[in-house]
Chain A
Amino acid sequence: MPWAGPLALVTIWEIAARLGLIPPHLLPAPTTVLGTAIGLAVEGTLLTDLLVSLSRAAIGFFIGGSVGFALGTAVGFSRLAEAVLDRSIQMLRSIPFVASLPLVIVWFGVAEAEKIFVVSLAVMFPIYINTTLGIRQVDPKLLELGRVSGLDTAETIRRIVLPGALPSILTGIRYALAVAWLALVVAETVGASSGIGFLALDAREFLRTDVIIVTIVIYAVIGVLADGIARWLERRLLAWHPNYAGGRRK
């Protein structure tokens, strides 16, 4: 039932395009777009481009996520690390990553490193902030319980601190997945020789509206899938939490 709306919309779009109510160079019919997609997949480079984009996102996410988690853990646990690091990280965070793009391009050119760097940078901050926050928010009463139960430091971290911080960390991951994708779109459309963004850029040169729409749809689908992965992680890892168990969120 929730799909009825979008379906109707696409049908109207199709009919309007077929009747010539919408000029095809502005918005081709959905079936044309689908045909283009299939054509690109079979004869063109769509699948390779998709793979290239996905692996950039994945590598960037992994690097940015690891750095963000490491920094977040350090600052969450240690007042000293906080004093040394937090202010600088917060200052860097206030720069919109798009604004840093020209500088990044000067550093790395428009090569792979540039895209991965931008994605990593975008991912790092939400993971950092939510990890720090999660660790800070661990209930001190539970830490005290760990102490009177005779837990050592490693056990306290494993059984109390990390699980306690996990809901917040997962929120960070969910947000990071969304910005990773956003950052990649921006980085790829600035300059690339492969990837979905390159495909879109190339299509613009030749006014191929149908190809541009294919790339937009792909970005949307992957965005939805990424969110699905984040929700799935939450359901699995937070099964103990009534708000997440059974797939319902508050």
Chain B
Amino acid sequence: MTVQTAVLPKLAVNVVGLSKAFGERVVLKNLRMRIARGEFVALLGESGCGKTTLLRALAGLEPVDGGHIEAPRLPAIVFQEPRLLPWEPLWRNVSLGLPAPDARDRAVAALTEVGLTGRFDDWPLKLSGGQAHRVALARALVKEPELLLLDEPFAAVDALTRIKMHVLVKTLVARHRPGVLLVTHDVDEAIVLADRILIMSGGVIDRDYLVADYPERRVLRRLLLADLGVLLTDEA
């Protein structure tokens, strides 16, 4: 296996021949995937098909059995749960891993961006679930990463908060332009946010849809759902 920190000129991620098995269970099978810089890619797939494993491999958190990964050395990740350090105030959480001098200013700016003005010194355990997720997002974006990895980051928040988070992610990503890989099980979320939608199945990227090719969202939605094994009747 080779992991290179240098990235091809216009790619944020380049994965070739990636393989991974947990014991007998083969999860990634000679998988191939590319994400361009500034491109927003959504990854859909049945639960347990290996989406998290792929994302963790990109972040260098999961040792793989073979293949070639080119990705920035320290991408920013938002996990499914916020993973805040409960003993550090919000601004310290957001500035985790940022080099020192203007860390606080940058953290404060990021918290303001996600709508948490005036809560910079609060403890994380005082936050609601949605607020904690926004802090996690701020922590990822403050690094101005070349690659942003999101693993079902909105699955645990209520529907209304999720819509607000979608708008937020869209604006922030538009401003910083990182390459984004969003793992989700929500087809509509993928359509709203992504430039490109991948379907993962059998350890490989099975389908690849450019959202711009489908001016009629309902058409794309139907195709995606069919790929995921949901067949809709006409009126649905």
Contact = CB atoms under 8 A, between A and B. Distances in A.
A149 interface: yes
A147 B75 CA distance: 11
Contacts of B75: 148
Interface residues of A, number: 21
Nearest to B97: A149
A150 B88 CA distance: 17
Interface stretch (A36-44, A137-145, A176-184): A137-145
The 4 A-B pairs of least Cβ separation, nearest first, read A149-B97, A163-B87, A240-B123, A240-B87
A239 interface: yes
Contacts of A23: none
Interface stretch (B42-50, B77-85, B164-172, B207-215): B77-85
B156 interface: no
B123 A147 contact: no
B202 interface: no
B59 interface: yes
B96 interface: yes
B61 interface: yes
A143 to B, nearest CB: 10
A145 to B, nearest CB: 5
A40 B172 CA distance: 74
A240 B125 contact: yes
In this complex, the interface size class of chain B, counting residues with CB under 8 Å from chain A, is 10 to 19
B63 interface: no
Interface string A231-246: 0000000111110010
A238 B86 CA distance: 10
B120 to A, nearest CB: 15
B74 interface: yes
A241 B123 CA distance: 8
Contact of A148 (B59, B81, B86, B125): B59
Contact of A240 (B59, B83, B86): B86
B96 A141 contact: no
Contact of A159 (B83, B85, B123): B85
Interface of A: 141-142, 144-151, 159-160, 163-164, 166, 238-242, 245
Contacts of B77: 148
A151 B77 CA distance: 14
Contacts of A241: 86-87, 125
Given A141-B81, A144-B61, A242-B125, A151 B87 contact: no
A146 B126 CA distance: 22
Contacts of B79: 141, 145
A148 B85 contact: no
Given A141-B83, A145-B83, A240-B87, A151 B96 contact: yes
Contacts of A148: 59-61, 74-75, 77
A159 B61 CA distance: 20
8 contacts: A142-B83, A145-B96, A146-B96, A149-B74, A149-B97, A240-B86, A240-B123, A240-B125
Nearest to B60: A148
Contacts of B86: 240-241
Contacts of A160: 85
Contacts of A150: 74, 97
Interface string B52-68: 00000001110000000
